[in-house]
A and B are shown apart, each in its own frame.
Chain A
Amino acid sequence: MNGVAIFLGILMGGSLGVGVAFLIFGSLLNRSNNHGDSVGENSRYTGGIAYSAQLDKKLHKAESQSEFLNTYYVPLQSDPVFRTPSARVVRKMPTPQAPVAQAQTAPQVSPVAVATAATGFPSSTAFPTAPAAQAVQATQAATVQAAQNYQAAQAYQAAQTAPVAPAAPTQQDYENYQHLSD
């Protein structure tokens, strides 16, 4: 019994003694030799996160996790903040480059509204499962359609505003010309 007590005493005392000593001296050294080791606090730059979804259950499976990401990330992306014109260039930068990858040019139908309308789920804390996938598909389809419409409109507008250049003669023109000259 005595031997067991000694063994356990050394084991517990050793681990705790070494742990406490390292913690004390690590803190002392940090206070003594490391200065200014703090970055700007988050609260200085942000008022916090506006959550659109918080879910603490039903996320054990990989599929449900990826479904959660897809369901709630897409509506966030469609927010007007992420739809600034592609010509966004920060002024005076040494090398103006491509804008933020997420910037969208196309006007979009609000996928949140589409998702809500299609599923009946609000875009907040509830976690939709199967119907949400349909909502996402509907959202994506609506977004793609809107983008296509926008591109078509842009092309039409460009065609209208572009200076009119003489069109190259076609085969039909040539034949007409031949006919007339005959």
Chain B
Amino acid sequence: MATLCKNCGHALVFDPSIQKVRCYQCGSTFFAEEVESESKKYVQDKKAISMAQVYGQDVAGAAKEYLDCYIYTCSECGGEVMITGTEVSTKCVYCGNPTVVFSRISKEECPEFIIPFAITREQALACINKEIGHGLFVPDAVKHFTPESVHGIYIPYWIVDADRSEAAIIRKKTSNGKNTTITYHGRAGRMRLKNLPVDACTMLSDESSTRLEPYDFSKMVLFDEDYLLGFYSNSSDLTYGFLTQAVDKRACQMFDETMMKSVKGGGTKTVINYRGSTAIDPDVKYALLPVWFVTFDYEDKHNTILVNGQTGKVVCGLPIRKVLFYTLLTITCIALVILFSVLFYHIIYAMMSSYARSKPRRSSSSSNNSSGKIVVGLIAAGVVMAIAGVKKIKNVIAKLKLTQSSQTFNFTKKRQE
């Protein structure tokens, strides 16, 4: 159902630029807390009915991709609004009015807090254009893409306080030329975590939602359904078991990172054994956080760019101009190999000549050793740099796959426009 303007009766929509609900018919603006829908009390118990109940098993079975859909009646025009199992707000496909399914945010499941959208649709698109406009290896078609859809969606999050306690053994491996030293370090302690956001929507991958951070929780306000007007939103479908798993995994990761920094010196550090546990505080907060989902097609693949609806942070891996990239890489490789080879040839030749001249006069086994170490060190440095470079390339490809994942695309696409 829509919340209507007190002055003209037109549907109100939340405007992020002024942080108020606005009537686009008469121009009136109201604070979200001021507006109370008259018809809310009549429709808050009205639940969405499963599609199978409305159309029968045959129809629902025939359209497998809509099996998780429910039918809700628009309180303004009576049209059928199709929603997924956890959607809270959407738009009516017939009259375009914002629709909130009140039964899904009724007292027992009502979010406590919300961070309202601070970035408008236009600002979100501007952020994307600014971010990807200068990419050397981004295809021109992607730089000037036309968005297929732009959806502002409130994602449910659990904001958790927790304690992580752990005792661990860290192995530090340091290489110094030929010698490798391994040392073991014990660490035990406790870490307090405050306001850790955990994505409560299983349809959205944790990797995507984690990259949207950070959110500024000081801007979080008490939940009011009028903030949802004009936006899509989902309710939590995360069970307590999954929540504890997610918090434990994240806390463990954070603990290990911090703990390894306490082991002084360089080298490769690995946690080889640990005992740990995470206790979650009982007062977990349930909040809705804003995200813009912008989809576009490129070379027959769906791409979804995410924008943090509060800060404007853009999250995406973009398609690569492969021909340009690999050509430039090959040319640079060849050029650098020739350059370094010539350089090292001259250095080595000069060193060997001076060694040959000075050989009759002094024994230089230590000089030989140090030269050998330099050669091995330089080769090792080259290999390490090559591995680091390949890792970066692999990381970009992994993030591109995430942007092109059907899971994220379906999450945003299965909504009524």
Contacts and interface: CB of A to CB of B under 8 A. Distances in A.
A92 B240 CA distance: 10
Interface in A64-78: 65-66, 68-70, 72-73, 76-77
A9 interface: yes
B378 A39 contact: no
Given A15-B379, A18-B333, A38-B211, A54 B194 contact: no
Interface in A13-38: 13-30, 32-38
Contact of A91 (B284, B329, B341, B384): B284
Interface stretch (A40-48, A136-144, A161-169, A170-178): A40-48
Interface stretch (B26-34, B117-125, B312-320): B312-320
B165 A73 contact: yes
A49 B382 contact: no
Given A23-B385, A50-B189, A13 B329 contact: no
Contacts of B110: 92
A18 B345 contact: no
Contacts, number: 337
| Interface range on chain B (Cβ under 8 Å from partner) | 35 or more
A22 B341 contact: no
B108 A92 contact: yes
Interface residues of A, number: 83
Contacts of A34: 317-318, 395-396, 399
Interface in A60-96: 60, 65-66, 68-70, 72-73, 76-77, 79, 81-82, 84, 88-96
Nearest to A4: B352
B386 A23 contact: yes
B211 A37 contact: yes
A35 B210 CA distance: 13
A13 B316 CA distance: 36
A17 B333 CA distance: 6
Given A100-B244, A100-B280, A9 B344 contact: yes
Contact of B137 (A16, A28, A102): A28
Interface of B: 108-110, 131-132, 134-138, 158, 163, 165-169, 183-197, 210-214, 236-241, 243-244, 254-255, 257-259, 262-263, 273-280, 282, 284, 286, 306, 313-320, 325, 328-329, 332-333, 335-349, 352-353, 356, 375, 378-379, 381-386, 388-393, 395-396, 399-400
